[in-house]
């Protein structure tokens, strides 16, 4: 999962999908990253951690990292949280970009729609709660198709 800073949306998606896949007995490697690297080495945003914790998921041990073109070789599928993230991945990756490995995260919930997961960074806790619910529902759809 890739978002802008890897402290709000993508860490939630990583934590939620990891828990759901483990609960279903799937042996997936799940990771997250950001395109800007401003928060490299930091834990997820305190409100992302809080809404995850309230829902029984601990993401406090996750550490933000920057997306690299090598991620295309390491992972079978890369979910983007928004179109601006996709455009930045495309720019960063140059000739290593692999369109076939990219999918908008919300396409799992709304097939064919390339919708953005709202970025809660600029809002209050309610925004994080709403994003958690949307990501949780999408992760349910992902494991259902496994």
Q: State how far the Cα of 54 lies from the Cα of 26, in Å rounded to an integer.
A: 24
Gap between the Cα atoms of 20 and 108, Å rounded: 15
According to DSSP H, which parts of 1-146 are helical?
A: 9-23, 46-54, 71-74, 83-93, 125-144
3 is catalytic: yes
Catalytic residue among 3, 8, 18, 71: 3
Q: Which of 8, 9, 18, 136 is catalytic?
A: 9
The alpha helices in 25-113, defined as continuous H runs, are 46-54, 71-74, 83-93
Of the candidates 8, 18, 71, 119, the residue annotated as catalytic is 119
Question: Does the annotation mark 9 as catalytic?
Answer: yes
Please give the span between the terminal C-alpha atoms of the chain, in angstroms, as a whole number: 17
Tell me which residues are annotated as active site. 3, 9, 119
């Amino acid at each position: 999962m890739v978002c802008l800073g890897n402290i709000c949306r993508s860490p939630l998606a990583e934590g939620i999908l990891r828990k759901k896949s483990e609960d279903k007995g799937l042996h997936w490697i799940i990771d997250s990253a950001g395109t800007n690297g401003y928060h490299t080495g930091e834990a997820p945003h305190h409100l992302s951690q809080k809404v995850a914790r309230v829902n029984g998921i601990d993401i406090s041990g996750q550490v933000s990292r920057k997306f690299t073109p090598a991620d295309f070789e390491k992972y079978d599928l890369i979910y983007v949280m928004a179109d601006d993230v996709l455009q930045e991945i495309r720019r960063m990756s140059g000739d290593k970009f692999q369109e076939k490995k990219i999918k908008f995260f919300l396409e799992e919930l709304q097939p064919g729609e390339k919708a953005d997961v709202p970025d809660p960074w600029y809002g209050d806790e309610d925004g994080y709660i709403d994003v958690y619910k949307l990501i949780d529902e999408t992760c349910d759809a992902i494991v259902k198709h496994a």
